Structure formats: C-alpha cells, structure tokens
C-alpha cells in the first residue's frame, strides 16, 4: 500500500492546524518537509516488508517446534491429558490411553469421570479444587480400570488458564506404577521371609555372600559384616564331605534349580555342626543364574528339628497362631470328645471388616500389624484349652471345645466370649503413629453330640459370617437351620436365574395408569419370572438376587428391549399410539457408564418416540454419586426420555437433591394410599407430597388405588393420576390391548 501526495498533504495540514500561524511553512519548506515524510514512510514500508518476511520464517520455526513438541508428548513415558472445565477430554496422549486401558474408545469430548466410574471421590474433589487454581499431586493411588482390573497410578494436576486469566480446565500428568507396586509387594514378602527363625543367606552367582539374616549369624558364629563379601566355601568341612559331594550338590542345583539335604558346616569357632540346608536358584529374564538363596536349619538337637518341622507344618508364620491344618485336627478331636461326654462346643469364624482398604491405603506392612494385633487379642481373651487360628488373609477361627452340658448355659457363655472378642478387636491400635480401630464380623455355630463333620461346621460358621456381613458388618450372627434353608434356597434361585433368559422364562405385564376421568394414559411395565414347572416368583425375591449376582444388567436390558418393542406395536394402533410406558430401572443398572448410550441405541433400533418412554427410579439411587445420576438423567432427557421417582416418601427423600433432579413425575407409594381413609399420618404425608410437587411443577401419580373412596380423597386433594386394582391388575400385552379396545 502507497499513500498519494494529496493524502500526505491532507494529513500534514490537519496536524499543522494545531500549531501557531507564525510556524506556517513557505513553498520551499513545504516541499522539503514532504520529502522527509516520504523518506520516512518508505523506510517504514521497507521495515514492514522485512518484518513480514521475519514473521513468515518465525511461523515456519514455530510449526517445526510444535511438531517436535507433539512428537515428544505422544512418546513421553508419562500420560498427559487436557480437560475442559466440565472434565471433558480435549486431548489425551498415547501413553495416557494405554495406561488407562482406553484403547478403541473415542474419548475426545467425553467426560473423564464418566469414562472412569471407579475414580475415588477424593480425586474428584481435588479436580474441583484445581479448577479454582490449586495445583496438587497425589502419589501412588489405587484405581480400578474400565475392564475391572486393578492397578496403581501416580498423578499430578495443574490448571490451564484462558487468555483472560480464568481457569479453562485441567492438565493431568499420570504414570502407571502397577509393576513397581507389585515389585514392592514382592520385596515386602521377601523382607518378611528374611526375618525367619531359620538362617538365611543370599549370594551372587559365584557364591559370594551378599546378605545374611540374624538367625544365620547365630548358626555360623559370624556377624553380618564379617560374612558379606566372603565365599560360602568358608563353611566347608573336608573331614565330613569330599569334593565329589560338593560337585554333585552343585550339579543338582544347576540342573534342577534347587537342592536340599543334611550338611556338616564349620562355624567361625571351628565347631562342626549338622544343618539342614536348602539352596534355591534365582535367574534373570534370560534364564541366567544371578543369585543363590540358602536356608539353614540347625539339626544338632533332634528336639529342635522336630519343633521346626511342627512349626512349619502347623503354624502361621506371621501371627504364630495355629493354621487351618492344626485347627481341623483339634476340631475333629473336640467333636469326638463332645459326642462322648454330651457337652457343647463352638466354632467362631472372624473376618476383619474392610481389611483390604487398610492394605490399599496404608500398605501391607500396616495390614500385617493389624493382623498381629488381632492375633494377640485372641490370645489374651481365650482360655488355654481354646484354639485361635488364622485361616489366611484376614480370616481367623476360634475353637471353644467345652461349654458344658447345659444348652442355655453354653449359649450364654458363648455370647459373652463373642462379645469380648468383638470389643477386643475394636480396641484402637497404634500403627507407626497412626491410631486405627478395626471392626470384625463374626459367624458362630454350636456343636455337641450331633454328627456334623468338621467341614460342615466350617460351612455353618461361614454362613453365619455371611449373614453378619450382609447385616452391615461389625456384628455377630449365630447359625441356625433356617439360615441354612434360606441360603440353599437363594443359591438354587440364583442358579435357576442364570438360565432364565435363555429359557424365555421372563415376560412383561402392563398395569394401566389413568387420569381423573378414568381414561388410560399409559401403563407400567412389570417384570415377571415364570420358571417352567414352578410357581411365579415375585420380583421382590429375584431382583435382589439378580442385583447381587450381576445378572440385573442382562435382565434389565432384556426388559428395556421388550418395552421398546411394545411401544413400537402401540404406535401402529390409533387407540394406543399416545400411551406412555413406564419402566423400572435398577440403581446398579442406571449407574453403569454406558447406560445412556445403550438406551439410545435401543430407541434408535426400535424406531420409537422416546417421549413415550418413562423411567421409574427409586430413591436409593440418590444415596451416592448424585451429580453422576443427574448427568445421566440429563443425557437421557436430551433424547426425550421422561423420569419419575418411584415409591416416593419411603426412602431417602432428600429435598436438597430432589430440587436438583430434572424429573417429570413423583409416584406416591401405595403404603400411604392403603390406609388413607382413616390414617391421619398418611393423609398428612400425601398432602405434603402434593404440595411439594406443585411447587416443583411435577406431576403426581398415586399407586395402589383400590377403592373409589381412596380415589375421591386423592382427587379432592389435587392428585389427578392413579394406578391400582381399581382400574386394572397387571395384564399381558394381549389382554391389555383387549382392555384398551373395549373402552373405545
């Protein structure tokens, strides 16, 4: 761009008007002035071109740097992800996707917390604080990956800023440290093993001693400092073993990877002692021998050798309590004595509540201290004739062989012992400066002259323990025959339930929902299980079993698919094409990460109007992760699905959460409608629900309406929609269709 002379003149004159008249320029001065300005302009123009060329070079350099930076990020050993303020992915590096097992998933634009539903709540809280500008790091946290496997992640979070200075989102750096945690666990195990009462040494591939434990110092007479660096040949005893003995021993070690046998070893003082020696080989990944581990047991005293054999065979190495083998031996003896003398005995199975979280959050060393503390509590609170044993993990068992001949006295004494142990385990313990209180669930079974085997008694105690855990943990339960019957029935039902879908034993029934004029406006789909050659099983019985076993996901998807098929059939009939179908959704099913996606696919496949599909949720869904529940509801509402809270007033009923939930409807539970004619409390509750619904602009439908009096009262109070036997029982799809046609 070049300015004309006239333009220059015009601009200059405008500026010169600002100066006094005596500064006015004559013609010669004016021409000179114009020339200077022109020279200045063209100099600026040249500099502008130079600058443009420089900027072009700089842009090329920046592009190269960006490519290098992208290459570095993609190949960095640390995972890197960028999230916006709603925790949606803007970017994720290759290492991030591989470490979190998200391969094959298009994560850009999706919510980080939804893709990883098992993220601990304290992580989410930290993410929220980082959006306020706080930087934080959290080392070595346990995480459950989308495929259900467990690992460890080390991560750090930093906020990134918008040009206006506000926080735009988060950048997260993470490293999968699962392999290192596994290696550390193995090292801890090895460290505990090295504290054995038997002598242990570790050598290199040439037999040079690298480490020796305290027990080996006592066996050999050498201190650890004296041993390190010396070769194991210092223990050779030529008077007892010739060269052929040692040559055969090392050939066996090289070929088989281990050797054990009786050896005469020379101590520091020159004494020759018999020891039982076990040698094991340690190899690297290529199979090359890197180390040898030797374990020495002093067998100079036969009684000491016998003691060690008994200790290894019958006692737990961590707690020094009897193990399962010794416990079963003593239990069998106690059963024989009880039958012979007509006395009572008992077995108590003890499980430390949430022990796994202690190991995960505070480390296995702390967990071992808790186990040793429990073991000491059992020793302190039992008689000498009783046996406390460790079965493994965090399970302990107590055998009380003699509770006397009287059943009432035996039960009283047993209750006192159980309470004493229960309270003793709950006593606070110091874990390296951290005070910790453990709780325990205890299952108990009694035996006398009955003919139960030891395994049967263990199963009975285990059933009682299961009931204690199911009751909320930190409690005591006694086994009885009804418990066994209940467990057997539940097990049989679960077995039958697993094959029910394949046998087409499920069907949906439809109960009409009407308005104040009695016009059918929709229906609730009710799941029924009709096993072949068996009576119909109530949903109240099989739904909890399905949820506990995980079968609810496949059963729930079947119910949704069939509900969509029914809506499609209704859409083709002018009498039913506007009916709304309500479907009950399990809390577990609703919390599944891909639930909204699955529903969308079912609706698209069926080709139905999603606004005619309504999901009924229970209040238990609000007990945890409310924000995630609201997010899923919003995702489904965008599709067109409607929502209702079922059995309102019988569960959580938090008004603070209710006002946040994007609902369409509240269902009054039938328990409030049943006695509405005479129960003032039920009437007050119904009035409150109606008032609340009106303020929140929610529709209300009453369940369990069976009489005209109930309907009239509800209508008078402002409830205009009903469901119950007054208008129809649950019907098959065919009978429901006949009912609709009969009304037109």
Q: Which band of pLDDT confidence, cut at 50, 70 and 90, is reported for residue 12?
A: very low
Q: Which band of pLDDT confidence, cut at 50, 70 and 90, is reported for residue 135?
A: low
**Token output for 31:** 């021409």
Instruction: Identify the residue with better confidence: 487 or 249.
Output: 249
CATH of domain 498-742: 3.20.20.450
Residue ranges per structural domain of the chain: 1-75, 76-176, 182-311, 318-479, 498-742
Give the mean pLDDT of the chain. Answer: 80
**Token output for 436:** 């910790």
- Residue 607: is its pLDDT beyond 70? yes
Q: Which band of pLDDT confidence, cut at 50, 70 and 90, is reported for residue 651?
A: low
Residue 703 neighbours by CB distance under 10 Å? 21
Q: Which band of pLDDT confidence, cut at 50, 70 and 90, is reported for residue 350?
A: very high
Instruction: Identify the residue with better confidence: 183 or 402.
Output: 402
Letter string b/e over residues 48-85, b meaning 16 or more CB atoms within 10 A of that residue's CB = eeeeeeeeeeeeeeeeeeeeeeeeebeeeebbbbbbbe
The DSSP bridge partners found for residue 296 are 199, 277
Most confident range (mean pLDDT) of 105-109, 152-156, 193-197, 340-344 is 340-344
Q: Which band of pLDDT confidence, cut at 50, 70 and 90, is reported for residue 194?
A: low
Instruction: Identify the residue with better confidence: 64 or 161.
Output: 161
CATH class name, domain 182-311: alpha beta
> Residue 17 has what pLDDT?
47
> Residue 188 has what pLDDT?
62
CA dihedral 90, 94, 100, 104 (to 10 degrees): 80
> Residue 577 has what pLDDT?
92
- Residue 167: is its pLDDT beyond 50? yes
Angle at 460 between CA 427 and CA 539, to 5 degrees: 100
d(CA 421, CA 415) in angstroms, rounded, equals: 10
Residue 743 phi, psi (nearest 5): -90, -5
CA separation, residue 440 to residues 170, 359, 394, 418, 420 (Å): 41, 16, 10, 11, 12
Instruction: Identify the residue with better confidence: 107 or 566.
Output: 566
- Residue 273: is its pLDDT beyond 50? yes
Length of the chain: 744
Q: Which band of pLDDT confidence, cut at 50, 70 and 90, is reported for residue 583?
A: very high
Class of residue 35 by CB neighbours under 10 A (exposed 0-12, middle 13-18, buried 19+): exposed
Task: Give the lowest-confidence range in 304-308, 390-394, 646-650.
Answer: 304-308
Tell me which H or E stretch contains 161. Answer: strand 150-161
> Residue 1 has what pLDDT?
42
**Token output for 288:** 């090359």
Average pLDDT, stretch 60-87? Answer: 69
Most confident range (mean pLDDT) of 33-42, 149-158, 301-310 is 149-158
Average pLDDT, stretch 579-591? Answer: 92
- Strands laid side by side in the 150-161 sheet: 89-92, 79-84, 167-176, 150-161, 136-144
- Please, what sign has the CA dihedral across residues 510, 515, 516, 517? negative
**Token output for 61:** 């350099």
pLDDT digits 0-9 by tens, 365-380: 788 888 988 999 999 9
Instruction: Identify the residue with better confidence: 672 or 1.
Output: 672
Instruction: Identify the residue with better confidence: 401 or 149.
Output: 401
Average pLDDT, stretch 211-228? Answer: 85
- Residue 460: is its pLDDT beyond 70? yes
Task: Give the lowest-confidence range in 271-275, 458-462, 485-489.
Answer: 485-489
The set of residues, in sequence order, having a beta carbon less than 8 Å from that of 71 and lying 6+ positions away, is: none
Residue 567 phi, psi (nearest 5): -60, -40
> Residue 642 has what pLDDT?
95
- Residue 76: is its pLDDT beyond 70? no
- Residues of the chain with pLDDT > 90: what percent? 22
> Residue 298 has what pLDDT?
59
Could you tell me if 217 and 228 are in contact, meaning their C-beta atoms sit under 8 angstroms apart?
A: no
- Residue 8: is its pLDDT beyond 50? no
- Residue 2: is its pLDDT beyond 60? no
Most confident range (mean pLDDT) of 47-56, 102-111, 541-550, 734-743 is 734-743
- Residue 635: is its pLDDT beyond 80? yes
What pTM value is reported for the model?
A: 0.47
Closest-CA residue to 671 (of 700, 691, 648): 648
> Residue 537 has what pLDDT?
84
Q: Which band of pLDDT confidence, cut at 50, 70 and 90, is reported for residue 731?
A: very high
Indicate the DSSP class of residue 198.
Answer: S
Could you tell me if 213 and 194 are in contact, meaning their C-beta atoms sit under 8 angstroms apart?
A: yes
**Token output for 536:** 């119909």
Average pLDDT, stretch 584-612? Answer: 92
> Could you give the residue ranges of the DSSP H alpha helices within 550-615?
552-571, 587-590, 595-606
CA separation, residue 208 to residues 224, 228, 233, 241 (Å): 13, 8, 9, 20
Specify the fold of 318-479. Alpha-Beta Plaits (3.30.70)
- Residue 662: is its pLDDT beyond 80? yes
Residue with tokens 């003699």: 402
Pairing of strands 642-648, 665-668: parallel
Could you tell me if 156 and 177 are in contact, meaning their C-beta atoms sit under 8 angstroms apart?
A: no
Average pLDDT, stretch 677-701? Answer: 89
Closest-CA residue to 290 (of 353, 203, 197): 203
Indicate the DSSP class of residue 23.
Answer: G
Pick left, alpha or beta for residue 518 (phi over 0 → left; psi -120 to 50 → alpha; otherwise beta): left
Per DSSP, the three-state class of 348 is: strand
The maximal CA–CA distance of the chain, rounded, in angstroms, is 140
Residue 480 neighbours by CB distance under 10 Å? 15
- Residue 526: is its pLDDT beyond 90? yes
> Residue 22 has what pLDDT?
38
Q: Which band of pLDDT confidence, cut at 50, 70 and 90, is reported for residue 35?
A: very low
First CA to last CA distance, the chain: 82
Instruction: Identify the residue with better confidence: 15 or 53.
Output: 53
Q: Which band of pLDDT confidence, cut at 50, 70 and 90, is reported for residue 654?
A: low
Q: Which band of pLDDT confidence, cut at 50, 70 and 90, is reported for residue 704?
A: very high
d(CA 471, CA 504) in angstroms, rounded, equals: 34
Pairing of strands 429-431, 434-436: antiparallel
Average pLDDT, stretch 683-704? Answer: 91
Please provide the DSSP assignment of 502-527 as one string.
Answer: TTT-EEEEEEEEEETT--EEEEEEEE
Q: Half-sphere exposure of 388 toward its Cβ, with a 13 Å CA cutoff?
A: 22
Closest-CA residue to 147 (of 99, 77, 183): 99
- Residue 491: is its pLDDT beyond 60? yes
Instruction: Identify the residue with better confidence: 472 or 192.
Output: 472
Q: Which band of pLDDT confidence, cut at 50, 70 and 90, is reported for residue 451?
A: low
> Could you give the residue ranges of the DSSP H alpha helices within 591-654?
595-606, 626-639
Average pLDDT, stretch 45-72? Answer: 58
Average pLDDT, stretch 719-724? Answer: 95
Q: Which band of pLDDT confidence, cut at 50, 70 and 90, is reported for residue 218?
A: confident
Specify the fold of 76-176. Beta-Lactamase (3.30.450)
> Residue 338 has what pLDDT?
87
- Residue 408: is its pLDDT beyond 70? yes
Are 318-479 and 498-742 the same fold in CATH? no
Tell me which H or E stretch contains 413. Answer: helix 407-425
Q: Which band of pLDDT confidence, cut at 50, 70 and 90, is reported for residue 6?
A: low
> Could you give the residue ranges of the DSSP H alpha helices within 315-406?
324-341, 355-362, 364-380
């Amino acid at each position: 761009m070049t300015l004309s002379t006239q333009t220059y003149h015009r601009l200059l004159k405008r500026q010169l008007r600002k100066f006094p008249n005596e500064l006015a320029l004559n013609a010669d001065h004016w021409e000179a002035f114009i020339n200077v300005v022109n020279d200045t302009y063209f100099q600026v123009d040249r500099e502008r071109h130079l600058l443009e060329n420089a900027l072009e070079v700089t842009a090329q350099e920046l592009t190269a740097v960006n490519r290098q930076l992208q290459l570095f990020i993609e190949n960095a050993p640390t995972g890197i992800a960028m999230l916006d303020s709603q925790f949606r992915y803007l970017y994720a590096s290759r290492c991030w996707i591989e470490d979190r097992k998200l391969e094959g998933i298009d994560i850009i634009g999706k919510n980080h917390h939804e893709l990883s539903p098992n993220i601990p709540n304290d992580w989410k809280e930290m993410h929220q604080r980082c959006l306020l500008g706080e930087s934080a790091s959290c080392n070595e946290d346990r995480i459950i990956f989308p495929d259900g496997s467990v690992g460890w992640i080390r991560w750090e979070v930093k906020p990134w800023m918008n040009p206006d200075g506000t926080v735009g989102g988060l950048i997260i750096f993470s490293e999968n440290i699962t392999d290192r945690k596994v290696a550390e666990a193995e090292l801890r195990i090895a460290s505990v093993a090295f504290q054995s009462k038997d002598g242990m040494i570790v050598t290199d591939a040439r037999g040079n001693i690298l480490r020796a434990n305290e027990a080996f110092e006592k066996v050999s007479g050498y201190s650890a400092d004296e041993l390190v660096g010396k070769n194991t040949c210092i223990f050779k005893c030529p008077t007892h073993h010739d060269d052929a003995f040692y040559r055969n021993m090392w050939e066996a070690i090289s070929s088989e990877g281990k050797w054990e046998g009786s050896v005469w070893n020379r101590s520091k003082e020159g004494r020759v002692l018999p020891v039982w020696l076990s040698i094991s080989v340690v190899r690297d990944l290529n199979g090359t021998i890197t180390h040898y581990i030797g374990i020495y047991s002093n067998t100079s005293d036969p009684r000491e050798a016998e003691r060690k054999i008994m200790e290894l065979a019958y006692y737990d190495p961590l707690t020094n309590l009897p193990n399962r083998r010794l416990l079963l031996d003593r239990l069998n003896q106690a059963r024989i004595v009880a039958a012979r003398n007509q006395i009572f005995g008992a077995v108590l199975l003890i499980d430390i509540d949430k022990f796994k979280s202690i190991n995960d959050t505070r480390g296995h060393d702390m967990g071992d201290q808790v186990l040793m503390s429990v073991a000491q509590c059992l020793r302190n609170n039992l008689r000498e004739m009783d046996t406390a044993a460790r079965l493994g993990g965090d399970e302990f068992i107590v055998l009380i062989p003699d509770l006397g001949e009287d059943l009432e006295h035996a039960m009283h004494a047993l209750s006192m012992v159980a309470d004493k142990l229960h309270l003793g385990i709950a006593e606070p313990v110091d874990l390296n400066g951290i005070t910790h209180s453990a709780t325990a669930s205890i299952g108990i079974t009694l035996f006398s002259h009955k003919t139960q085997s030891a395994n049967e008694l263990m199963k009975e105690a285990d059933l009682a323990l299961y009931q204690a855990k199911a009751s909320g943990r930190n409690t005591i339960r006694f086994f009885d025959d009804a418990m066994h019957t209940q467990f057997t029935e539940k097990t049989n039902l679960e077995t039958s339930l697993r094959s029910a879908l394949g046998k087409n034993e499920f069907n949906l029934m439809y109960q009409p929902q009407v308005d104040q004029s009695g016009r059918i406006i929709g229906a609730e789909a009710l799941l029924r299980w009709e096993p072949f050659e068996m009576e119909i099983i109530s949903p109240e019985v099989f739904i909890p079993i399905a949820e506990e076993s995980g079968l609810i996901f496949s059963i729930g998807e079947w119910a949704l698919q069939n509900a969509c098929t029914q809506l499609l059939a209704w859409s083709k009939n002018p009498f039913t094409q506007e009916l709304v179908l309500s479907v009950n959704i399990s809390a577990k099913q609703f919390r599944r990460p891909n639930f909204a996606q699955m529903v969308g696919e079912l609706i698209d496949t069926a080709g139905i109007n999603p606004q005619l599909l309504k999901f009924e949720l229970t209040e238990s869904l609000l007990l945890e992760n409310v924000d995630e529940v609201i997010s899923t509801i919003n995702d489904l509402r965008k599709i067109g699905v409607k929502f209702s809270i079922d059995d309102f007033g019988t569960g959580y009923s938090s008004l603070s959460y209710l006002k946040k939930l994007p609902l369409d409807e509240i269902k009054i539970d039938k328990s409030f409608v049943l006695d509405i004619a005479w129960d003032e409390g039920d009437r007050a509750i119904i009035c409150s629900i109606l008032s609340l619904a009106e303020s929140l602009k929610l529709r209300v439908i009453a369940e369990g309406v069976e009489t005209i009096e109930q309907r009239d009262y509800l209508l008078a109070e402002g409830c205009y929609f009903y469901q119950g036997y007054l208008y129809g029982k649950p019907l098959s799809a065919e009978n429901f269709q006949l009912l609709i046609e009969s009304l037109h």
